[in-house]
Amino acid sequence: MVGWRVPRSHPRYHSLVLRERLVEAWRRGIVVPEGLIAHGRGECFDYLIGEETQEFARRAARAAAALLLLAEYPVISVNGNTAALAARDVVLLAEAVGARIEVNLFYRTEERARKIAELLRENGAKEVLGVDDATGVIPGLEHARGRVSPRGILRADVVLVALEDGDRTEALRRIGKKVIAIDLNPLSRTARAANISIVDNVVRALPEIRRHVEELRDAPREELEEILRGYSNEEVLGEALRFIAKRLTELAEKGITIRFD
Ligand code: PTJ
């Protein structure tokens, strides 16, 4: 609603602020309406994990940090929702690991790509790929969805995606990219296809990866490789599902008061 301000006293203040940020970004032509729906699905899973970074996400974020530090040419892929929710955190993580930033859209229009790049630059990005230079194509994806920068995703060894479509994640894996995904839904095709899946809200996951990057920055290569050897994405996704199941069982047994508000 234009002019509406989220009351600070509201028990769901933080969640409402994220919604407002997305709606505002939709008004500015940064987020697509489908992005608002996608966020709703994410909110539901966020509710189930307690709206906090859980141990399985922490473990995945640490592995992601190790992979980004070992990468030769990491790229952070940014879509409308990620830009609206976490543009500054994208820029800070890219700086911390020396990654390129590329706008990569599912519902691509040139105007929206330009607006997202502008928002990233307003948040400190020095260079944003994927706007005028999206001349490469990911094989297996039809034209607009598959367009990438030859200096970005096409060249990358490691690609970080957030709120990504499953088809595109699978296509990135097929062309040999290592994929780090941020996705609140542990059942999504993206979460299952990625090498490392961080089941957490993008607004918490990006700072969490950065925290591990700072911790691991001076670690020897062998230590980073050891973290990756000990990491199993299947196990982590299993843990996320077990966590949700256990939490729901406990809540049911405790007899939560169900409120309809
Ligand atoms: O800006 P575009 O054109 O690239 O389009 C972006 C969307 C998000 C519309 C597009 O990529 C899309 O349709 O994505 P999906 O297939 O709906 O997947 C989004 C996934 O992200 C779902 O599994 C959601 O549960 C999850 N998700 C939603 N909000 C968040 C989230 N994960 C992390 N943090 C969130 N805030």
* Residues 22-68 pLDDT 10s: 999 999 999 999 999 999 999 999 999 999 999 999 999 999 999 99
Model confidence, pTM: 0.95
Task: Kindly state if the Cβ of 80 falls inside 6 Å of ligand 1.
Answer: yes
Residue 261 has a pLDDT of 46
> How far does residue 247's CA lie from ligand 1's centre (Å)?
24
Q: Does domain 55-240 have CATH number 3.40.720.10?
A: no
Average of per-residue pLDDT across 207-212: 98
Residue 184's nearest CA partner among 171, 197, 169, 200 is 200
Instruction: Choose one of 77, 163, 203 to mutate for the ligand 1 pocket test, by most ligand atoms within 8 angstroms of C-beta.
Output: 163
Q: Is 189 exposed, middle or buried (0-12, 13-18, 19+ CB in 10 A)?
A: middle
The reported pLDDT for the residue numbered 212 is: 98
